[in-house]
Each structure stands twice: as C-alpha cells, then as structure tokens.
C-alpha cells in the first residue's frame, strides 16, 4: 500500500543568538504539537552547511528534536523536519519548520572628544611638543582601564576674539577606545568594555575640569598654551563588527543589536549599517 504524507510548511521564524554564545532551546515542534501525543516521531535538522548531528561538538539534538547550538557563529537558514503519526493506523504527517537564526553582538562603542587650547604661534615647535605630551598624559590616565587615546587631528588657527584681537588656538580631536588585553586580571564586571570606557570618559572629563580649577587658583600668569574652559565636547560613537549592522525595521525584536547582515547586504568596516549588495548571497558578508 502507498504511504501517504500530509505536507505542512511553516513560514520562517527569526531567532537571535549572541555571537560566541549558546543558543536557546530551538524546538522542532509547534505549540499545537507540544500538547499532542505523537507516535514514532522522527526529527531531522539541516543547517547552512548541511545535515546537523550531535556528533558535531557544537551541536546538541535531544531525543525530542530540540536543537542547541554552542559557541554560535554561523547565521543562516536552519530547517527541521518532523515525521509522526497521531494514531497507529493513520498515515505519516510531515512538518517542516524553517528558522532564520541570526548571530548578533552588542554595539562596540568608543568616544570621540574635542578640546581647544590657547596656543603659541601656529608654526612654533612648542605646539608640536605640547601635542605629543598631551596625548601621553591622556593615555597614562586611562591605561589601567585598558583604554587607549588616539589623536585624530590637531589644527592651529588664528581666531579673532569678540571685541579683541587675534589669538592662536589649537583645535584637538581625539578618540578613546577600550582594548582587550590577555594579561589583565580583574573581576568580570570591571573587565566589561562599556564599564571601562565609561570610567575612562569620567577621568578625561575630570582632567580637563582640573586644568581650569588649577589655572583659577594659581596667582601666576597663565602659560602660553592652556585649555580654554567649556570647549570639551564628548560624543559616543557606536559601531558594529564587519559583516554586522543595526536595522530596527528588519529586526524589530533586536532593534539595537548588531545583527549579521542578510543576503543582499554587507558591511565592510566598523560602520553600523549593512549596505545593499545584490550579489551578496551569504549571511555576515564583509565584501560585495
């Protein structure tokens, strides 16, 4: 006798798994089937690289077909087929569930900050020496937090003052970023990059505030090069890893996550958006 199958197709379900973490339990069942008795159920999982098996150390499939992915990296389409009977004399049912499983990461942020200094004449070597010294001081300030200050640009300009003459000013722009160091021994929360970066921001703000207070308390004449009060500006800049982007429309359940770029898009650098690319066929593309 011919075996009859009832084919059921379910549309895609999106699942988000943190990069390099374990996935939640992904069921090869619908809510309706969870409440039914199934006779001789058989489960089969496929992933982007083909069939999945518990023989793979990063894959665990339970006897009832539940999938757990360890140290997750490979975004893409995962499908589960379940064959079952509801009664011994009935034909087999075949249910196919399709999951779009995306790796995601938290945005990797840094701060960009700018400050203005009264300066020596613009072609003076004193300015260049001060610039180098200031970068060293700021780096020493944040070094214990495993953060790093980099000079983006320093420009000297002649500025006409309100109701006054010309003066020389240096316009500095810096970045401060957290760096990972293997040799650091610390509590996990203290090692957390956002925590370290926020502490570095506070130290930098205090440093510039103290320069103003020191200048006010001193009875001596101001030096030739000094910080101009209230010119410090700090802006947080978010970025994603290459191949990842933020898209609240495509991923409403993970609106602030850096999610692996879908086919048809890519992110080549540390921007926060996946760019369109019709020839990109993979998840997490870094080139078009």
Query: Using alpha carbons only, what angle is made at residue 213 by residues 175 and 120, rounded to the nearest 5 degrees?
Result: 65
The answer to whether residue 49 is domain-embedded is yes
Helix axes 193-217, 125-142, angle to 10 degrees: 130
Considering its fold, how many domains does the chain have in total?
A: 3
**Which structural domain, as residue segments, surrounds residue 246?**
240-287
**Within this chain, do residues 235 and 144 fall inside the same structural domain, yes or no?**
yes
The answer to whether residue 186 is domain-embedded is no
Q: What is the pLDDT along the chain (288 residues), one digit of tens a residue?
A: 444 555 555 557 899 999 999 999 998 887 777 777 788 888 899 999 888 888 888 899 888 888 999 999 999 999 998 888 888 887 778 788 899 999 999 888 899 999 999 999 998 899 999 999 999 999 999 999 999 999 999 999 988 877 767 889 999 999 999 887 554 445 555 567 888 899 999 999 999 999 888 766 665 666 788 999 999 999 999 889 899 999 999 999 999 899 999 999 999 987 899 999 989 899 999 998
Contacts with 187 (C-beta within 8 Å, 6 or more apart), sequence order? none
The answer to whether residue 203 is domain-embedded is yes
**CATH number of the domain where residue 126 is located:** 3.30.70.360
**Within this chain, do residues 124 and 80 fall inside the same structural domain, yes or no?**
no
What residues are paired with 221 via a beta bridge? none
């Amino acid at each position: 006798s011919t075996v009859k199958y009832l084919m059921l197709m379910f549309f895609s379900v999106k699942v988000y798994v943190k990069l390099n973490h374990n996935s939640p339990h992904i069921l090869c069942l619908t809510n309706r089937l969870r409440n039914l008795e199934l006779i001789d159920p058989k489960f089969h999982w496929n992933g982007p690289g083909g069939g999945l098996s518990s023989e793979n150390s990063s894959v665990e499939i339970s006897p009832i077909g539940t999938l757990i992915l360890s140290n997750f990296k490979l975004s893409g389409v995962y499908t589960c087929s379940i064959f079952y009977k509801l009664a011994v004399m009935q034909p087999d049912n075949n249910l196919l569930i399709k999951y779009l499983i995306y790796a995601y990461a938290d945005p990797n942020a840094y701060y960009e900050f700018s400050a203005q200094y009264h300066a020596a004449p613009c072609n003076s070597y004193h300015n260049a020496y001060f610039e180098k010294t200031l970068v060293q001081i700021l780096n020493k300030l944040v070094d214990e937090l495993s953060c790093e200050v980099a000079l983006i640009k320093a420009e000297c300009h002649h500025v006409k003052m309100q109701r006054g003459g010309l003066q020389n000013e240096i316009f500095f722009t810096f970045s401060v970023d957290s760096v990972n160091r293997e040799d650091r021994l610390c509590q996990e929360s203290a090692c957390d990059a956002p925590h370290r970066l926020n502490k570095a921001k506070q130290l930098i703000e205090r440093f510039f505030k103290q320069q103003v207070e020191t200048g006010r308390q001193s009875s001596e004449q101001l030096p030739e090069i000094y910080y101009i009060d209230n010119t410090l500006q700090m802006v947080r800049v978010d970025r994603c890893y290459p191949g990842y982007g933020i898209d609240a429309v495509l991923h409403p359940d993970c609106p602030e996550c850096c999610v692996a770029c879908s086919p048809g898009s890519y992110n080549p650098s540390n921007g926060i958006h996946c760019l369109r690319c019709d020839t990109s066929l993979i998840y997490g593309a870094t080139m078009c």
